[in-house]
Structure 1
Amino acid sequence: MTNDTSKTNAPKTNASTTADRRPQWLELIVALVSAVLIYGAGIVLLGIFPAPTAALEGVAGLFFSGAAPILVFTIVVLVRMRDLSAFGVRRVEPRWLLIAVLLAAACFAVIVTFDTVVQHLFPGVDDSQDTLRAAASGGVLALIGTIFFGAVLTPLGEELVFRGILTRFFERWGSWAAIVLSTLIFAVFHGINLVLPSALLVGLVNGWLMVRTKSVWPGVVVHIVYNSAFLILYSFG
């Protein structure tokens, strides 16, 4: 009687291989510690060396909001060098990028309507976006910096961290757990203020896109289009 070793020696399935490659607890802890140190240092530096104008303050803040998560993501990747597809940095079908643009437009319409209603019901309510408005309306150079840092660098950095690391990590507990948990963290990260509904909506959409496509790029597109629309709107004062 011969031993059948085909089962014990069989390679892992695609599903189990994918699960093994996604971010683990080590990456999550490194991301948390790195974020605390980097954001803490950034806040201190911005406090010690304040910008001379509100417009420059806004541009500097947007640069930091994009550079910081990219640095966090880089540190996490270097912990255990692996294929970046483990973090959702992978190609996606072009149709998903078109879907992302349409979803971004829908999110923009919903939040503009929400903000209009809130401003009508509570005139003069602070939406904590004064520095962004100052940057976007601070002249051509300030607007270029605002668009690049706020609508390109920041979306890229935040999607790599919140979807590429967090959503992928939380997928071990199921798709909806991944979407909801990463969305809540993303929303709270943006502050308990009038921006919260916006962050919740975009977080839910991008979390769903991440789970559905296994790629960060649709979420990056949503984020770029959404942020661009608001920054251009702010440029009109």
Structure 2
Amino acid sequence: MLYSGGIVLLVAFPASTPALEGIAQLAFSGLAPLSVFAVVVLVRIRGLGAFGIRRVDAKWLLVAVGFAAACLAVILTFDKIVASLYPNVDDAQGDLRAASEAGLATLLGTIALGGLLTPLGEEVLFRGVFARFLQRWGTWVTVLVSAFIFALWHGINLVFPSAFLVGLCCGWLLCRTGSIWPGVVLHAVYNTSFLIIYSTE
């Protein structure tokens, strides 16, 4: 209901410029899952550790940065191949590109929302809630199904492969560490890198 209401509001009251529309979308993509997570926590009345919010060895945060770099390399290569084969294809990121290119202040706001808030919100929901729920059926189910749900949320478009790849890595890190924080770091580094790349294109 929270997600649906937010989507309706974004569609019914579009921002005045593509850049502001991109910022609004990023704010929604971070705040909506955090709101859903808060509802889940209140309903379940469980400690936050049950949702993967627990300390983790610093080495796993470094592993997460390495995974982010690997994901970035794979997806940039994939995007170049797609662009060469289909030069006019819509990558579904136009508003985010506009927000990243609208000046330093807007770029910093975009990074705060898309590079920090969104990864936190999406990881507590997709890994902290969905993936932790799926862990009763084993690692493969946890990693694959949570990654697919995460990618599907991003839509059937050119973002789907990158979201699925990031979801696979974040799910695997959750299963290995029991913590969402490596996934948050991976997600944050990946998103921030793309936003910076968009700003320089």
State the TM bucket, normalised to the shorter chain.
over 0.9
Question: Structure 1: which 4+ aligned runs deviate by more than 3 Å?
Answer: none
Matched residue of 1:91: which SS? coil
Amino acid at match of 1:183: A
RMSD value over aligned CA atoms? 0.8
Q: Is residue 150 from structure 1 mapped to residue 114 from structure 2 by the alignment?
A: yes
Q: CA deviation at 1:49?
A: 2.1
Partner of 1:49: 13
Partner of 2:62: 98
Identity among equivalent pairs (%): 60
Amino acid at match of 1:41: G
Q: Is residue 87 from structure 1 mapped to residue 51 from structure 2 by the alignment?
A: yes
Deviations 1:173-222 (A, max 9, x none): 11111111111111111100111110111010000000010000000000
**Which of residues 194, 198, 201 in structure 2 aligns to 1:234?**
198
Partner of 1:68: 32
Q: CA deviation at 1:43?
A: 1.6
Q: Which has the higher contact order (CA 8 A, sep 6+)?
A: 2
Q: Is residue 176 from structure 1 mapped to residue 149 from structure 2 by the alignment?
A: no
Higher Cα radius of gyration: 1
Q: Which runs of 5+ in 1 are unaligned?
A: 1-36
What is the CA–CA distance in structure 2 between the aligned matches of 1:42 and 1:189, rounded to whole Å?
14
Q: Is residue 213 from structure 1 mapped to residue 183 from structure 2 by the alignment?
A: no
Partner of 1:109: 73
Q: CA deviation at 1:123?
A: 1.0
Matched residue of 2:66: which SS? helix
What is the CA–CA distance in structure 1 between the aligned matches of 2:26 and 2:109, rounded to whole Å?
9
Q: Is residue 165 from structure 1 mapped to residue 129 from structure 2 by the alignment?
A: yes
Segment drifting more, 64-73 vs 119-128: 119-128
What is the CA–CA distance in structure 1 between the aligned matches of 2:71 and 2:45, rounded to whole Å?
35
Partner of 2:41: 77
Partner of 1:199: 163
What is the CA–CA distance in structure 2 between the aligned matches of 1:52 and 1:230, rounded to whole Å?
24
What is the CA–CA distance in structure 1 between the aligned matches of 2:97 and 2:21, rounded to whole Å?
11
What is the CA–CA distance in structure 2 between the aligned matches of 1:80 and 1:196, rounded to whole Å?
31
What is the CA–CA distance in structure 2 between the aligned matches of 1:43 and 1:189, rounded to whole Å?
12
What is the CA–CA distance in structure 1 between the aligned matches of 2:40 and 2:173, rounded to whole Å?
22
What is the CA–CA distance in structure 2 between the aligned matches of 1:48 and 1:200, rounded to whole Å?
29
Q: Which has the higher helix share?
A: 2
What is the CA–CA distance in structure 2 between the aligned matches of 1:47 and 1:127, rounded to whole Å?
19
Deviations 1:44-73 (A, max 9, x none): 222232211110010011001100000000
Q: Is residue 129 from structure 1 mapped to residue 93 from structure 2 by the alignment?
A: yes
Deviations 1:126-181 (A, max 9, x none): 11010000000011221111101001000000000110011110011111111111
Q: Which runs of 5+ in 2 are unaligned?
A: none
